[in-house]
Amino acid sequence: MSDLPTLRESLEQHGLMAKKAFGQHFLLDLNITRKIVRLGGPFDGDPVIEVGPGPGGLTRALLESEASHVIAVEKDSRFLELLSELNSAYGDRFEVIDGDALKVDEAQLLADRKLPVGAHIVSNLPYNVGTPLLIKWLTGPWQPKSLTLMFQLEVALRVVAPVGDDDYGRLSVISQVLCDGVKVMDLPARAFTPPPKVDSAVVRLVPRAERPAAAVIKNLEKVTAAAFGQRRKMLRSSLKSLGGEALLDKAEIDATLRAEQVHPDGFLRLATALT
């Protein structure tokens, strides 16, 4: 580790500048990345998948942790050479994959490397794909053991918002039905290079042991899209195309409520009733 150049030196040596198109806002202070890793752990000797290592500040902190392996998926191939230098310090505990995290099959990735399927996700997410990536990990066939994710503050607040809150919406319901989630850290825009326009926060999510069937999860996406698509309307009207009052009766939900008044458990009953 001590032989590695600083992150700034590394960026300079490779002539790399942040690109807006890839949502690049780097964390160059290892005290911050180490804190994120502490808040995300313990990893108990499990593998960690990191999305978007960029110059590798979070990657270095992950490699200092007790994670067995760190597999990093980076879409911007300009960073591959810089990142491969981490292999000289950490050998085959580290691998960087040139690819788009939205398209990666994580279960296959782990199986191909003979790593246990139970891995953790840690990422300072590119803002432009943060929400689709979260939805993929929450609703997809592969289950991470935990997710420690840096989002723009507005998205982080939506993930953990309780029922009745202004930020409570689709992302809150889907996240909270499937996971226990806590906002564990706030970071001002100035902590990043270059600074984004908005502040950020880290959310840690742990998928619940009891997971609804895949068909129910699909329905949860449908019901929340319909209900929050017209969030000011009563559910009997916003859910009309999915069964309206009959569906609400079956799920024992008051048809005069609006989406923001229904607890995640209520949405789970609606998704189950729709099956």
> Can you give the binding site for ligand SAM, defined by CB under 6 A?
22-27, 51-55, 57-58, 73-76, 100-102, 124, 126, 129
- Name the residue number minimizing CB distance to ligand SAM: 52
Gap between the Cα atoms of 232 and 78, Å rounded: 46
Please identify, using beta-carbon distances, which residue of 58 and 259 lies nearer to ligand SAM. Answer: 58
- In the complex with ligand SAM, which residue's Cβ is closer, 18 or 255? 18
Decide whether 57 or 144 has the Cβ nearer to ligand SAM: 57
- Could you tell me the smallest distance in angstroms from the CB atom of residue 163 to ligand SAM? 30
| 3-state SS, one letter per residue, for 54-107 | CCCHHHHHHHHCCCCCEEEEECCHHHHHHHHCHHHHHHHHEEEEECCCCCCCHH
**Minimum distance of ligand SAM from residue 25's CB (angstroms):** 5
Give the nearer residue to ligand SAM in terms of CB position, either 26 or 228: 26
Q: Which is nearer to ligand SAM, 28 or 107 (CB)?
A: 28
For ligand SAM, give the closer residue by CB, 203 or 268.
203
State the minimum distance, in angstroms, from the CB of residue 13 to ligand SAM: 16
Q: To the nearest whole angstrom, how small is the minimum distance from the Cβ of residue 132 to ligand SAM?
A: 9
Q: How far is the CB of 181 from ligand SAM (least distance, A)?
A: 20
CB of 187 to ligand SAM, least distance (A): 10
Q: What does the buried/exposed string (b/e) look like for 49-87 if buried means 16 or more CB atoms within 10 Å of the residue's CB?
A: bbbbbbbbbbbbbbbebebebbbbbbbbeebeebbebbe
